[in-house]
Amino acid sequence: MKKVKKEIQTTCHRCGDCCRAGGPALHSVDLSLLQERRIPLEHLLTVRRGELVNKPGGVEPVTVELVKISGEGGSWSCRYFSEEKGCMIYSFRPQACQVLKCWDPAEILALMEQDTLDRRAVLGNGHELLPFIEEHEKACSCDFFSDLESLSAKEKAEVEERVRLDLRFRDRLAGGRGMSLGLELFFFGRPLFQLLQTSGVGIVQQGGAVSLRW
Ligand code: SF4
Ligand code: SF4
């Protein structure tokens, strides 16, 4: 029988699979894209330190804060990806997209969680919301996700309280200022209850009170 020779990939076919898997995390060299408003803050999502993310070894907590291009309408697919046209910002796509070669991931792996942008770097030190971002990080941090499977009853109750605090915080800061959802997701990341739901924890809302089902 004739052997079929397997073609070795050496270039990008622009199939879009990597774009459908999610928008890129931004790095220091991408800061000018934000400063020039080529990518507005409303199109970003903050992944807070401790959130669970997909890594080459499986799902693990992220060790640094990341600012990524968000998806749209609940999808992870990068908001700048069009099924018809491909990348809508190809000529100024971020560094991670430029180095990504699915057939040779060494360069993108070396970039992972290195020299990344966080909210402080994006906003600059004097931004009026930085003190609130810090207050939120302190009160509603994601540091428990690495131990989610082994939390004691007391720790679970603390997480539940954190979920409520997070919601009150968003009501006050985002709701109170008429902030769009896009901006809220950049300034404060995704709500804790959503992150917990992704990890299989149920949420029950009764008469304005939120409780968790582990
Ligand atoms: S890098 Fe790979 S997955 Fe991404 S568009 Fe190119 S061929 Fe497709
Ligand atoms: S910015 Fe462009 S290349 Fe990068 S993930 Fe989005 S659509 Fe793909």
Q: Ligand 2, residue 22: give the atom nearest the CA.
A: 5
Ligand 2 geometric centre to CA of 12 (Å): 13
80 CB near ligand 2 (under 6 Å): yes
188 CB near ligand 2 (under 6 Å): no
Best residue among 97, 100, 101, 108 to mutate for probing ligand 2, ranked by most atoms within 8 Å of CB? 97
Q: What is the pTM of this model?
A: 0.94
Domain boundaries, the chain: 9-123, 128-214
Distances (CA, A) of 181 to 80, 112, 185, 196: 18, 27, 6, 19
Largest CA distance in the chain: 71
Helices (H), the chain: 17-20, 31-35, 95-99, 106-111, 119-123, 130-139, 153-170, 181-188, 192-198
Q: Ligand 1, residue 9: give the atom nearest the CA.
A: 7
Cα–Cα dist 180/191, whole Å: 14
For ligand 1, atom 4, name the residue with the nearest CA.
18
Cα–Cα dist 38/83, whole Å: 21
Read off the tokens for 91. 């000529």
Cα–Cα dist 33/58, whole Å: 31
Name the closest ligand to CA 18: 1
What pLDDT was estimated at residue 59? 93
User: Which residues line ligand 1 at a C-beta cut-off of 6 Å?
Assistant: 12-18, 100-102
What pLDDT was estimated at residue 175? 86
Cα R_g (the chain), whole angstroms: 19
Name the closest ligand to CA 99: 1
Identity of the amino acid at 7: E
The whole-number mean pLDDT for each consecutive block of 10 residues of the chain, a chain of 214 residues, reads 76 94 97 97 98 92 97 92 96 97 95 97 96 97 95 96 95 91 97 95 86 93
Q: Which residues is 116 bridged to in the sheet?
A: 27
